[in-house]
Amino acid sequence: MNDRMNALRERVGIAYGGDYNPEQWSDEVQEEDLRLMKEAGVSLVSVGIFSWASVEPRPGEYDFDWLDRVMDRLAGGGVAACLATMTASPPPWLTTRHPEMLTVRADGSTISPGGRQHYCPSSPVYRSHAVRLAEQVATRYADHPALAIWHVNNEYGNVIPCHCDVSAAAFRRWLADRYGSVEGLNEAWSTRFWAQGYSSFEEVLPPRSPAPFANPAHALDYARFTSDELLACYLAEKEVLRRVTPDVPVTTNFPPSLRPVDQWTWAPHVDVIGYDAYPDPLDADAASKVAFSYDVMRSLRGGQPWLLMEQAPGGVNWRPRNAAKPRGAMRLWSWQAVAHGADAVMFFQWRQSRGGAEKFHSAMVPHGGPSTRLFGEVSALGRELGAVRDLAGAESPRADVAMVLDWPSWWALEGPAHPSTDVRFLDAAWSCHRPLFDAGVACDVVRADADLSAYRLVVVPNLYLTSDEAARALTRYVEEGGTLVMSFFSGIVDPYDRVHLGGYPAPFRAMLGLTVEEFHPLAEDASVGLTDGSGTVWSEEVRLEGAEAVAHFTTGPLAGEPAVTRHRFGRGEAWYLATRPDPQAMRGLFDRVRDAAGVTPVLPGLPEGVQACVREKNGSRWYVVLNHGAEAADVPLPAPMRDELTGAAPAASLRLKRRGVAVLRSI
């Protein structure tokens, strides 16, 4: 598949650009667009994401003339097109004729047209119209010189899960495929409880807000089904594109929230991973949180470069409060994506809309036009990225640390009727990723059943749902000498959300050398004392069965009981966290575990707040170094390197200003 991407890379290097929605603007403005794109170093734009109504203004009646002119102009200007299939927002004529294709929420209310993405992914009406449009677009532009890559639909994961009758029927078919017989379904869903035994698949409905709770297995399968239905939408369009343009790469963009779709199942079907990232400038932890997302993206296809398809040059419009980025953050965070393996730095959108729902979402060309400070910074960044064309295609080498991420486990973890609603996967993952990020340590993200033998350290945050395969893989890893850190409420249920009996966490008791007797989640915003620091969110009663206690609870009903444990198992070592230590305690703990496992930062002696990432290609190695701290910092250099941005080759150390960036290449 990378072959398909090579042509794009040769053409654009590290792609730079954004969503381009020229149908909002006059020909004059579009002419200016091309001039400004050149000025800003734009090499790739995503065209037509929301153009359905513009290219098919009435059923089956197409108007591509305006788009022909756009594409011609791009080609003429040397800008490549990431051309959309335009199916993300159905036009008014379609929903007026087919209101049955609208999304129905769990509470029974229908999502009214007037926004976007208001379609049921199981709707045959939606699918047939979408595929028909994709075919029209593909055929029209198959040979257009501007076409570089296909952009299918948009942020599928943001489609609100549909609970309509069409979805219900599709869900039943999906269940019949999965379980074969209704007995199988009853067994998997534990329907003997609460008299939920089905006598036929025909009795099954989507989890439409039952009271007081849905059956969690039911809810979990609906999340799987929803991910699969969206994937089916993607694949239906992809099939058309492959048929018409077999050599053009195809992708779609994952939305900022990682949660909605199982990206492990999607990743094999895209030619390159696309991701939209929107760190919140008002969140002091924005850089470390987005670093985790970027680690996911570069891991989904084993270290291959990925595309940052969208970010905002300044503020967005969809949070309650949307601040612009502080001076320098746009550049710093863009380079951060490249550091984590991105081969594209793209924005939503090129030119800020004059009207409509996203007019206050910042853009490369703001409402103030090219004379703004922001456009100046956008152009400067474009020039910088243009200077490191070589980096495009460089892969991210395997890290020493891996973190396990499993979507069904995530969904199940946050299902109904659990010990605590405060146990959420992203918080758990961030709490473990943060001490690595702060220490300048690289971290891969892996499937729960992956071969882990190459890693020095494996981190397992809240792997609530654990298959037998995953349990075996993790156990074998430790047995054979690995170091593993697992946080509480892992190994609790099987893939059908049924508890692994025999004492928590049954599949890992031997490995961890302990049993958990009872859960004591904490009250809201409460904490519990630890011998070192404090615990948050959760505590539990641990009975040691071979493990040793590394820290104890010092307050609360478990005072004196183990809070963090370590167990020699086979040739390896397994650590267990019976609470979530506060960030400082977590840092201390992870430093200790890393020492034991021999895991070191990407560059030795990295100052606090400075992050470094490596990329490699054809024997070359680049270190992208980023100063996230509040002060300037001196970064010691272990070997002679040249800063690709300045051309300078600093001696023993590199001085980085606040929000400074360097791209070092060994010399």
Does 496 sit near a copy of itself (CB under 8 A)?
A: yes
Q: Restricting to residues 24-43, name those near a copy of itself by CB under 8 A.
A: 24
Q: Judged by CB under 8 A, which stretch of 31-39, 475-483, 518-526, 656-664 contacts a copy of itself?
A: 518-526
Let me know: does 68 contact 392? Beta carbons within 8 Å. Answer: no
Long-range contacts of 57-60 (CB under 8 A, 24+ apart): 57/91, 57/93, 58/93, 59/93, 59/94, 59/97
Tokens 């020492």 belong to 595
Given a contact cutoff of 8 angstroms between Cβ atoms, the answer to whether 48 and 55 are in contact is yes
Answer for which of 142, 235, 357, 648 binds a copy of itself (CB under 8 A) is 357
In this structure, are residues 486 and 574 in contact, taking their beta carbons and an 8 Å threshold?
yes
Site for a copy of itself contains 666 (CB under 8 A): no
Contact between 189 and a copy of itself per CB under 8 A: yes
Q: Which residue, 3 or 321, is less far from a copy of itself as judged by CB?
A: 321
- Bridge-based pairing of strands 80-84 and 147-151 is parallel
Stretch that binds a copy of itself, among 35-43, 258-266, 402-410, 417-425 (CB under 8 A): 417-425
Q: Which one from 310, 358, 414, 644 is the annotated catalytic residue?
A: 310
Q: Check binding of 183 to a copy of itself (CB under 8 A).
A: no
Is there a binding annotation on residue 116? yes
The alpha-carbon radius of gyration of the chain (Å, integer) is 26
Q: Which of 60, 115, 268, 647 binds a copy of itself (CB under 8 A)?
A: 115
310 is catalytic: yes
560 part of the interface to a copy of itself, by CB under 8 A = no
Q: Is 374 in the site for a copy of itself (CB under 8 A)?
A: yes
Using CB under 8 A as the binding rule, the residues of this chain from 227 to 286 that contact a copy of itself are: 282
- Between 497 and 644, whose beta carbon lies closer to a copy of itself? 497
Query: CA of 637: how far to CAs of 332, 338, 443, in Å?
Result: 20, 20, 21
Residue 120 CB, shortest distance to a copy of itself, in Å, is 13
Instruction: State yes or no: residue 555 binds a copy of itself (CB under 8 A).
Output: no
Token representation of residue 533:
């620091």
Give φ, ψ of 463 to 5 degrees: -85, 70
Cβ 570 to a copy of itself shortest distance, Å: 24
Nearer to a copy of itself, 358 or 406 (CB): 358
327 binds a copy of itself, rule: CB under 8 A: yes
Residues 119-158 that bind a copy of itself (CB under 8 A): 158
Position 397: which residue type?
Answer: P
d(CA 312, CA 319): 13
Residue 154 marked ligand-binding: yes
Candidate residues 373, 383, 568, 657; the one interacting with a copy of itself per rule CB under 8 A: 373
Using CB under 8 A as the binding rule, whether residue 90 contacts a copy of itself is answered as yes
- Is 207 a binding residue for a copy of itself by CB under 8 A? The answer is yes
- Residue 418 interacting with a copy of itself (CB under 8 A): yes
Residue 120 in marked binding region:
yes
Nearest residue (CB) to a copy of itself, 386 versus 556: 556
Q: Which residues contact 19 (CB under 8 A, 6 or more apart)?
A: 45, 46, 49, 310, 346, 347, 348, 349, 350
Q: Among this protein's residues, is 517 annotated catalytic?
A: no
Residues in region 45-74 near a copy of itself by CB under 8 A = 50-54, 57-58
Q: Which helix (H) or strand (E) holds 102?
A: none
Cα separation of 566 and 648, whole Å?
47
List, in order, residues 6 or more apart from 546 with CB less than 8 Å away.
513, 514, 567
363-370 — which CB contacts under 8 Å span 24+ positions?
363/18, 363/313, 364/18, 364/40, 364/42, 364/313, 365/33, 365/36, 366/313, 366/314, 370/36, 370/39
Residues contributing to the annotated binding site: 116, 120, 154, 162, 164, 318
Q: Which residues are catalytic?
A: 155, 310
Residues contributing to the annotated binding site for substrate: 116, 154, 318
